[in-house]
Amino acid sequence: MLDIQSIRKDFPILQRTIYDHPLIYFDNSATTQKPRCVVEKIEEEYYNVNANIHRGVHFLSQQATEAHEEARKTVQRFLNARSPSEIIFTRGTTEAINLVASSFTDACMSVGDEVIVSVMEHHSNIVPWQIQAAKKGISLKVVPINERGELIVEEYEKLFSEKTRLVSLTHVSNVLGTVNPIRQLIDIAHNHGVPILIDGAQAVPHIPVDVQALDAEFYAFSGHKIYGPTGIGILYGKEEWLDRLPPYQGGGEMIASVSFEKTTFNELPFKFEAGTPDYIGSTALAEALRYVSRLGINEIAAYEHSLLQYATEQLKQIEGTRIFGEAAEKSSVISFLIGSIHHYDMGMLLDRLGIAVRTGHHCAEPLMHAMGIEGTVRASFAFYNTIEEIDSFIAAVERVRKMFLNK
Ligand code: PMP
């Protein structure tokens, strides 16, 4: 059992008031708040260890390098990757997907080849492929969803052809909360001899992820969504695949030697890390992963599930509620609309009551089109949220409903 009141003390921002109301932060799918230990790690490293890494002979540079490489090992252990060489530091999920889209398309795809994505993808797992489609003449095949917001596995199977080169799917939907049957989807791709990239941005903070057990070729996530700093994320890739792919960007660090006649590239993982990496961010991310591991990802999942269930039951009591995404397997995200109330109006009025939710298309416009709506209100929970906060949120939604619908 998690001691939520003591956990909340680790997150100073949760003590804030907004318009004289205690902050209720339900925008955790967009980004999570940071525990004191993560922020202190950043301060400690800047004040005591800061020096550019990998190249220096001096003490500080070596210490900073060790911290950065130790952070890589922490991520490796967190994901249960085989080797630290399989962990590439990126700016986030978006950059990780762009890296694969660019390098994989260059190395493995030609005109007429196909990538399978799904209708529930975040724009960051659609647009990079569209950019490659425009450059290289590849095309996207799209897995549809059913009325509960689950991928239709039989339709997914039908999309494979002899032209399919890669599958790129989200593990958990940031709008619907659907936890996709990712092991099954990976097995299906492999049965067709096709590698697969998983967007784990909304999965890693909420459910245990073991990349060896999953067996996907690539897996991406963002530090800021798992209580770590902004500007750092991870691309996991199987070594044999990362070896096959060309570098994404050129610059310092990623080379073995450079001359105007011939440049050779560094070994993994450095081949994909051009320029000075965010070595402060990497150590702070490692601190966040240690924090999450101390609480226990299974305990987090169980507690967040109880918040989801409670909030769903309560929200359904409100007249005119429509919930988008009622998958059997769901993470702690609720997208909803109340009667004809516009999502922005609901979001703005909740904000006036100190409640932070997200409104709009949530960077998933194709999903909104598929559901025939413009946007939703989205409440997304983390382990520091409480049942009392959900009660206040439900009372606030009901208040807004009465205001607009006058009954
Ligand atoms: N994929 C999903 C499912 C997401 O929810 C997000 C962030 N909302 C991203 C990718 C992009 O993550 P980032 O902006 O951190 O790169």
Question: Looking at the predicted structure, is the pLDDT value of residue 51 above 70?
Answer: yes
User: Exactly one of 363, 366, 398, 404 is catalytic; which is it?
Assistant: 363
Question: Looking at the predicted structure, is the pLDDT value of residue 171 above 80?
Answer: yes
Burial state string for 119-136 with b = 16 or more CB within 10 A and e = fewer than 16: bbbbebbbbbbbebbeee
Residue of 29, 31, 94 best suited for mutating to test ligand 1, as the one with most atoms within 8 Å of CB: 94
Share of the chain above pLDDT 90, in %: 98
* 253-262 confidence digits (pLDDT tens): 899 999 999 9
DSSP letter at 199 equals E
CB of residue 93 inside a 6 A radius of ligand 1: yes
Contacts of 308 (CB under 8 A, 6+ apart): 177, 330, 331, 332, 333, 334, 381
User: Of 16, 30, 32, 27, whose CA–CA distance to 291 is shortest?
Assistant: 32
* Atom 14, ligand 1: residue with shortest CA distance: 94
CB of residue 202 inside a 6 A radius of ligand 1: yes
pLDDT at 126: 98
Question: Looking at the predicted structure, is the pLDDT value of residue 360 above 70?
Answer: yes
* 367-402 confidence digits (pLDDT tens): 999 999 999 999 999 999 999 999 999 999 999 999
* 252-303 confidence digits (pLDDT tens): 989 999 999 999 999 999 999 999 999 999 999 999 999 999 999 999 999 9
Distance 28 CA to ligand 1 centre (A): 12
pLDDT at 258: 95
Question: Looking at the predicted structure, is the pLDDT value of residue 172 above 80?
Answer: yes
Angstrom distance (rounded) from CA 214 to CA 219: 10
Q: What is the pTM of this model?
A: 0.98
Question: Looking at the predicted structure, is the pLDDT value of residue 406 above 90?
Answer: no
Distance 201 CA to ligand 1 centre (A): 5
CB of residue 94 inside a 6 A radius of ligand 1: yes
255: left (phi over 0), alpha (psi -120 to 50) or beta: beta
The ligand 1 atom nearest the CA atom of 173: 3
363 is an active site residue: yes
Q: Mean pLDDT across the stretch 114-138?
A: 98
* Atom 12, ligand 1: residue with shortest CA distance: 93
pLDDT at 56: 83
* 201-241 confidence digits (pLDDT tens): 999 999 999 999 999 999 999 999 999 999 999 999 999 99
pLDDT at 55: 80
Question: Looking at the predicted structure, is the pLDDT value of residue 45 above 70?
Answer: yes
CB of residue 222 inside a 6 A radius of ligand 1: yes
Q: Please spell the DSSP secondary structure of 95-162, one letter per residue.
A: HHHHHHHHHHHHHH--TT-EEEEETT--GGGTHHHHHHHHHH--EEEEE-B-TTS-B-HHHHHHT--T
* 91-100 confidence digits (pLDDT tens): 999 999 999 9
DSSP letter at 171 equals S
Question: Looking at the predicted structure, is the pLDDT value of residue 24 above 70?
Answer: yes
CB of residue 201 inside a 6 A radius of ligand 1: yes
CB of residue 65 inside a 6 A radius of ligand 1: no
Share of the chain above pLDDT 70, in %: 100
DSSP letter at 318 equals S
Distances in Å between the alpha carbon of 347 and those of 239, 306, 317, 342? 44, 24, 19, 9
At 234, which helix (H) or strand (E)? strand 233-237
pLDDT band per the 50, 70, 90 thresholds, residue 407: low
